[in-house]
Amino acid sequence: MAHSKLIFNRYFWFANTFFWLAVHALYTHVKFLAFEQNEKNPNWTELWIAISPWFIIWIGVTAIIFKLVQYTSHSSHSTTVKVFFHLSWMVFILFIYWGTAHLLIIAVTDRTMDEFSYYFLRTITQNAQLDISMYLGVLGAAMALRFYHNAVQESLELKRLHHELTQEQLRTLRSQLNPHFLFNALNTIASLVRLKREKDAVTALSELSIMLRKILETKNHDDIKIKDEVAFINSYLAIQKMRFADKLDTHIHVQPECLELTIPNMLLHPLVENAVQHGSQLESSRNLLNLDISRDENELKVVLTNKVARNDNHCGFGIGLSNTRERLARLYGQFRLELHPLENDLFETLLAIPIGGQDA
């Protein structure tokens, strides 16, 4: 259906008509010059009218050929059958073309019907090769355009399916993150209740409700502003601080020009959650967790520094970081997610993603 619309829209008819009128005018001019060299004095307009049927009819013939190509492209028949189909139609169409052209020539010139048979047979025996070549040329052009159109349509369809698949995969990865986070948050609140810290438990539930509301508000959004992601992380850290008391010393710094930038939803939270889990396992108090978000020209840089145990290889395995890597690989052609050990049992996670316009 789409190809049918492509063929029979106004652009097709304009190009088709313009082409054959241009060929008609060129051929008329060549004949005109040839007659002049033979010392004949033809009238250019009369000559154009006299031979016009041979070219004007090709406008309709071309449309028929394109329609036949469209029909065979949807057919499941073998190549041999399709070749025979086109050859049969070529013979039929050319005979109709020759007969119609001669009838029109009789109408616009001083020829009579008695001469119809003579000129018709002479066309078949002397000039058929040219018309057959023209027919095959149009047929080849129609097949080439059909092939190109199919290739473009298939490419667009593949891109559409790839985009839909990527978006579905990203939604699946994000849905894996939310239950993982929720499980940890509920465990935190349960621990507060067991420790008889009811006030902290109520506060934690309030923070959790804010987070869940934010998840519901953005569940159908692929992107989120950095300021909203950071607010989500702050609520998460507030809950975790209640659970681990003075074990966490958190600091978050965001450059003002980064607050309105958008990033993939739930991109930073898994990194912070991973750092919290490592810091909470330490016996020492006030374990550093520092999050710094800045912009370096066309790149958004996120640097997360946290304390880890000396025997912790911190290779970045686990659902949080593995999902982050998968999401980044699908969303960006180039990105950096690097893990670096530092002095004093500190560990640095560097995330760098490109910024397109105002969005990361």
Q: Beta strands 336-341 and 299-307: pairing type?
A: unpaired
User: Is residue 11 scored above 80 in pLDDT?
Assistant: yes
**Per the structure, how many domains does the chain have?**
2
Q: Is residue 76 part of a domain?
A: yes
Note the pLDDT of residue 86.
93
Note the pLDDT of residue 97.
92
Q: Is residue 147 part of a domain?
A: yes
Q: Does 9 share its domain with 151?
A: yes
User: Is residue 304 scored above 90 in pLDDT?
Assistant: yes
Locus of tokens 């982050």: 324
Q: Among residues 131, 158, 185, which one ends one of the domains?
A: 158
Mean pLDDT value across residues 12-19: 90
Q: Does 98 share its domain with 39?
A: yes
Q: Among residues 101, 132, 158, which one ends one of the domains?
A: 158
Q: Is residue 10 part of a domain?
A: yes
Length of the chain: 360
* 317 pLDDT tier (thresholds 50, 70, 90): very low
Alpha-carbon distance of 229 to 225, in angstroms, equals 6
Q: Does 297 share its domain with 222?
A: yes
Q: What is the CATH number of the domain that holds 262?
A: 3.30.565.10
CB contact at 8 A, 97 and 61: yes
Q: Does 350 share its domain with 202?
A: yes
User: Is residue 312 scored above 70 in pLDDT?
Assistant: no
Q: Does 144 share its domain with 13?
A: yes
User: Is residue 190 scored above 90 in pLDDT?
Assistant: no
What is the percent of the chain where pLDDT is above 90? 24
Q: Does 127 share its domain with 23?
A: yes
Alpha-carbon distance of 61 to 92, in angstroms, equals 11
List pLDDT tens digits, range 145-174: 888 888 888 888 878 777 666 666 556 555
What is the Cα 296 distance to its own chain's centre?
A: 29
User: Is residue 31 scored above 80 in pLDDT?
Assistant: yes
What pTM did the predictor assign? 0.52
* 316 pLDDT tier (thresholds 50, 70, 90): very low
Q: Does 125 share its domain with 202?
A: no
User: Is residue 352 scored above 60 in pLDDT?
Assistant: yes
Mean pLDDT value across residues 11-17: 89
Residues 6+ apart with CB under 8 A from 3: 70, 73, 146, 149, 150
Q: Does 154 share its domain with 250?
A: no
Note the pLDDT of residue 313.
54
Which residues constitute the domain of residue 21? 2-158
What is the Cα 4 distance to its own chain's centre?
A: 23
Q: Is residue 189 part of a domain?
A: no
